[in-house]
Amino acid sequence: MNHNHPVDPVIAPFDSLDRQVVQALMIDGRVPFSRLAEVLGVSDQTVTRRYRRLRGEGLLRVIGLPLGLRVGLYQSQVRVNCVPGTAGAIAEALARRPDIAWVTINAGGAEVSCMTRSRSRRERDSLLLDKLPGTRQVTGVSARTILHMWTGGPGGWRGLDELDDDQILALRRPTDFGTMGGFELDPADRAMLNVLERDGRATYPELAAATGKSESTVRRRLDHLTEEGVVFFDVEVLPIHLGFNVEALMSAAVAPSDLEAVGSTVGSHPEVPFAAATTGATSLLAVVVCRDIEGLYQYVTMRLGAIKEVAQLEITPALRTVKRAGLMTDGVRLFDPPAVA
């Protein structure tokens, strides 16, 4: 999938079965097609054809990612102010970096927002203190460190409502979302993740070949990493194909004593695929996805309006998504050795 250019929403609109497949993969990105077909009440061939069409046309991709807070990645949300007319080029350059995800152009086309997932403090600081400020078209940079995530990793987005409760229960796998201690990935884990970052549904023979381990060993190890909440599977799909036409970045000031309760509440909203606590004056960061502008208005005034602890609210619509969660760009891998300057 090309992460650097938006897909024309007119091409291959998603029907009800497509949306069911997407929601099922958000619950379990590696669910066997035979099991998925059984849950959806269709044939194996139908599910396989649907997935291959969506994947082949670049409309959907399953990717396997590490949960950054568990494996020691330095995660920050960065906003880059640009000279008018240069945001596109800056966003494209950021999207090509393997340590950058969720690149959007916001605020009238003069601001780029992204998420850094750096392997070291030095790598993160090099970007924030040297490379971005030293770029002639950049007029300002602000960064907030991600302290805690309520939603946005294992567990998936709850905004789709295509499956019933029984179907969701049949697909859900046991995962320890509550464990947040550090986890040391070994070389075989990293080799496996370098494959899964390209294709979360890579076969066990492919994973075995990449790691030098047996198929049974990589199967057990991947199950363990998934159940421990170290590795999760994300579905890259443009919300517009699912009937959601508005994405926005939300920042809010919340008192430290209220942050956990407010963050948990906001993270449970079906409109919110990502919610986190951050450093900075506005300690709550979230992404909001709605069907239209009226839906965004209703969310802000009704759901958020009912949370009295939310203050200094800022809503910034995304004008263009340049890159989503994928950390693979131009053949560079997150766990490759860093390039020597």
CA 60 to chain centre: 13
Backbone angles phi, psi at 136, to 5 degrees: -60, -35
Whether the Cβ atoms of residue 207 and residue 80 lie closer than 8 Å to each other? no
Backbone angles phi, psi at 192, to 5 degrees: -65, -40
CATH class, 239-318 region: alpha beta
Query: What band does 155 get if pLDDT is binned at 50, 70 and 90?
Result: low
Burial tier of 203 (Cβ tally within 10 Å: 0-12, 13-18, 19+): exposed
Fold equal for 16-62+159-236 and 239-318: no
The answer as to CATH 1.10.10.10 being correct for domain 16-62+159-236 is yes
Q: Where are the domains of the chain?
A: 16-62+159-236, 68-148, 239-318
Whether the Cβ atoms of residue 152 and residue 273 lie closer than 8 Å to each other? yes
Whether pLDDT at 3 is above 80: no
Backbone angles phi, psi at 281, to 5 degrees: -65, -35
**What per-residue confidence (pLDDT) applies to 130?**
82
Instruction: Count helices and strands (H / E) in the chain.
Output: 12, 10
Question: What pTM was estimated for this model as a whole?
Answer: 0.84
**What per-residue confidence (pLDDT) applies to 126?**
86
Taking the C-alpha atoms of residue 294 and residue 286, their distance in angstroms, rounded to an integer, is 19
CATH number of 68-148: 3.30.70.920
Q: Which pLDDT tens digit goes with each residue over 212-228?
A: 999 999 999 999 999 88
> How far, in Å, are 153, 175, 223, 248 from residue 229 at the CA level?
9, 6, 10, 27
Q: What is the mean pLDDT of residues 10-19?
A: 77
Query: What band does 2 get if pLDDT is binned at 50, 70 and 90?
Result: very low
Taking the C-alpha atoms of residue 47 and residue 35, their distance in angstroms, rounded to an integer, is 10
Whether the Cβ atoms of residue 123 and residue 89 lie closer than 8 Å to each other? no
CA 54 to chain centre: 19
